Each structure stands twice: as C-alpha cells, then as structure tokens.
Structure 1
Amino acid sequence: MASEAPLSSRFFVLCDDKGGRHDTQFDKAEPVHRGEAPHCPRCGAPIGMLMWQPPYRVELEAHGQNLGDFAEGPGYDRLISERMAEAFQAEGLTGLLGFHPVDVVRVRGKRNGLGAGTVSRYLAVTACFGRAAVDEGRSRLSRNRPLTCPECRDPGVDAIHGFALEPGSWQGEDVFRPRGLQGRILVSARFASWVQRHALTNMRLIPTEEYLQP
C-alpha cells in the first residue's frame, strides 16, 4: 500500500475480541421483525442488511470470564453496555445510531452464574454510513467484480490486505461504515483513545493498513 500513513493510521477496523476475557456475542430472540435494507441513493442497490425492528430481544453468549461492553451478532446491529452508551453520549462522540434498550432473555455459556436478571443493561446500535470512501489505488483489495457505482462502490471483496481512505472524504464521524467496504465498521483515533481511557472491553481496533481478510 502506498504512503500517506498519517491519514490511514487515524482509522481502525472495529472487531470483537473473540477468545478474550470478555468475549460476548448475541443472537436475536423471537419474535424478530425486520424492515427494509438500506439502499444506495444513486444506483438503488442494497448496501446493507435488513434493518432490525422492535421488539429488541436477545440471547447473550458469554464465552469469556465476564460480559463485555461490546457484542457482535447477526446483521449490522451491535450491542453496547449502558456505561459505554453513557460515556459515548457524554463525550460527544458521533456515528452510532439507535441506542434502543434490549431485553436480555437468556445468557448462554455463562461461567459466573449470570442470569438474565443480573446482566447489566445493553442497547442496540448501528454504525452510520459515512461519506469516507476507500481509496482503491492505495488499498490492497481483491474485488469479485468491477466497481460500477461511484457513490456506493459496493461490490464485495474476496480478500483484503490493508486499505486506506481517500484523503478529504472523511467527514468527522467517530464510528462509520465507509463507501466501498460497507460491511466493515471503522472508528477514529479519538474513538480508539476513548476506548482505552474508559477501559471498555471486548473490542479489537485494527489499523486499516494492517487489516487482513484472506
């Protein structure tokens, strides 16, 4: 990948910390209602999965020693703990949408005797679709078909060996899905510093230039 490391190093891919001490995932519990998927405003192609609609009911999977502040599950939705949500809003970070309280109906794989009634409150959020665009010339991507829409740039990828964003395309969101890689959640350096300062758990932040998808 080409130079201009100062730009690319400001952004990280947000992943959960599978196998870590706070490894937490979730499944949506019935009844699961879904709305329409988001579509590109220019070409009309779907750029995301069907939107989760209320009621927001989940089953947690606790694979670590304690439940984490962040949890991945099916679709584009993520769960964050109440303390993470409060800190995010109090410090004026941007890019997360929703903040819908969820009903935890079950905790599977629990190691500390946690039941649904003793679990801290979680909220369902989604990352916004940002204006930041993947820089095809400075990224190492193997796409499964050529780009056809200059807006969504949405063909899937077979492999990623690091990527960068087009200079000037980012509009300041702390959490966002970039054009050209809508299936990934990116975060700013400010978000990365905030996670460390609050000791938030079950998150891995991988610099975009080091992100690998074989």
Structure 2
Amino acid sequence: MASEAQPTPRFFVLDEDMFGSHGTRFDKAEPINRGDAPRCPPCNKVLSSLQWLMPYRAELELYGKDFGDFVQGSGNSILISERMAGGFQAKGLSGLLGFHPVEVVRVARKRKGPKPAEMPGYVVVTPCFGSAAVDVKRSRLRYNEPVTCSECRSAGLDSVHGFVLEPGTWQGEDVFHARGIAGSIIVSERFSEFVTRHGLTNMKLIPTEEYVSDPLRMGSPDAAFVNSDED
C-alpha cells in the first residue's frame, strides 16, 4: 500500500502589530556593545546588522494599552516576554538564540489612557539563520541586481510580492531567517499555533505567499529576475 503524501509545510512572516492594543517597540540603552555582523561563509556578504552584546539594557516605547509579548527594535535581536520565552522552551520550539535577561531602564508611553498592567520581564533573543532558502523561480521578487551566490542568495532585493521556500531546504527550525530574504523573520505553522494557543500579543503572522514588502512602490513584477552564475 502506497504511503500517503506528507502535507506541504506552511510558513509565515512574523511582524509586529504596532496598531494593535499591545503595540510596543524598544531602543537599545547605553552602554551599547556590538559584535561583528554575521556573514555568508562563501561570499563574505554581510547578512544582517551588527550583533548586540551584553549588557542588555533597553528603553521601551508603549503605543498600545498594554505591553506586548513580542517587541522589535533596530537590528536583528528582538525582545520577548518571559511568558513567551517559557512557553517556547516548554513546547520544544527551536530557532531562537540567547534568552538573556534585559534590564528595562525607561518606558515612554506614546498614547493617553489608563495605566497599563505591570510590565512583564523580557529576554533578548536572536532568530537563527536557517538552512531554508527562498525558491527564487517560484516567488514574486523584484531585484536590482542578479543573485550570484547560491549559498546566501543575497542580492539587491527591491520588493517582495509573495514567496515560497525551496522544497527540501528547511530543516525544522520554528523561527529563522531564510537564505535569499534574510531581512524577514519566518516562522513555522507550529509556531503560529503556539502563538494562537497562548494568546501572545503584538504579532502579525502573514502567510509567506501573501507577504508584500514594496517600500519603493514599484508594483508586482511580471516574473522573477533570475540571473545567477549557476544557471
């Protein structure tokens, strides 16, 4: 009897929900120590901003009525509440690195209203750079230069109008950066279910095939611009 085909994994882009009831952002507070930025081993291209190193001190900006479980700022590191961190680890989810406590030195409220509930404790985590790669030929991407490195697949990416991951490249991480679209945080369906089940806040989960990023308002491309050395 032939085995049943396995369902195709679903992935989501993780973004902040700044206009929701738990909109929260953070800035690093002095002293700010930084380490080297991660680079692609074969081509040496910089993959993200400089690493944030200890001591971890932050200032929060509260835009919603209450504090969020997920908090973004500048750079590759994010803050998550201790509640979210504990649930993530208890569930056996993977892909977040660090889990170092953060000292919040200041909270700036950006809207009027009742005093928020007690601020949760936060930890700093960094999404890993996973093995998963964007399937350039099956995604709607607009480039201003060709993809030349088959490892990082980085290039001048102007806009994204939906994308999929190349089959067989994902190795099971639940939170990660994918090769070819390192600026976005991608999460698994298991992570999405975890967020829903625990009612975690200040997050939007956008299916990758529906994700749009077009800061220059160039519109959807008719086809992907592919011109790598490997073709």
Please indicate the TM-score interval, normalised by the length of the shorter structure. over 0.9
- The alpha carbon displacement at 1:114 in A equals 5.4
Question: Does residue 1:41 correspond to 2:41, yes or no?
Answer: yes
- The alpha carbon displacement at 1:44 in A equals 1.2
Q: Which amino acid aligns with 1:145?
A: E
- The alpha carbon displacement at 1:34 in A equals 0.4
Which stretches in structure 1 are left out of the alignment for 5+ residues? 1-5
Asked whether the equivalents of residues 49 and 76 of structure 1 are also in contact (C-alpha less than 8 Å), the reply is yes
- The alpha carbon displacement at 1:88 in A equals 0.3
Output aligned runs, 1:39-188, within 5 Å.
39-109=39-109, 111-113=113-115, 118-188=118-188
**SS of match in other structure, 2:93:** coil
- The alpha carbon displacement at 1:113 in A equals 3.6
Asked whether the equivalents of residues 65 and 116 of structure 2 are also in contact (C-alpha less than 8 Å), the reply is no
Higher relative contact order (CA 8 A, sep 6+): 1
Partner of 1:194: 194
Asked whether the equivalents of residues 66 and 116 of structure 2 are also in contact (C-alpha less than 8 Å), the reply is no
- The alpha carbon displacement at 1:38 in A equals 0.4
Q: Which amino acid aligns with 2:90?
A: A
**SS of match in other structure, 1:21:** coil
- TM-score w.r.t. the length of structure 1 is 0.93
Partner of 1:12: 12
**CA–CA distance in 2 between the matches of 1:51 and 1:201?**
25
**SS of match in other structure, 2:79:** strand
**CA–CA distance in 1 between the matches of 2:76 and 2:192?**
20
Partner of 1:26: 26
Question: Does residue 1:206 correspond to 2:206, yes or no?
Answer: yes
- The alpha carbon displacement at 1:45 in A equals 1.3
**CA–CA distance in 1 between the matches of 2:174 and 2:116?**
32
Asked whether the equivalents of residues 66 and 112 of structure 1 are also in contact (C-alpha less than 8 Å), the reply is no
- TM-score w.r.t. the length of structure 2 is 0.86
**CA–CA distance in 2 between the matches of 1:196 and 1:144?**
38
Larger Rg: 2
- The alpha carbon displacement at 1:112 in A equals 4.1
Q: Which runs of 4+ in 1 moved over 6 A?
A: none
**CA–CA distance in 1 between the matches of 2:189 and 2:99?**
22
Partner of 1:3: none
**CA–CA distance in 2 between the matches of 1:154 and 1:188?**
22
- The alpha carbon displacement at 1:48 in A equals 1.2
**SS of match in other structure, 1:173:** coil
- The alpha carbon displacement at 1:46 in A equals 1.0
- The alpha carbon displacement at 1:156 in A equals 3.3
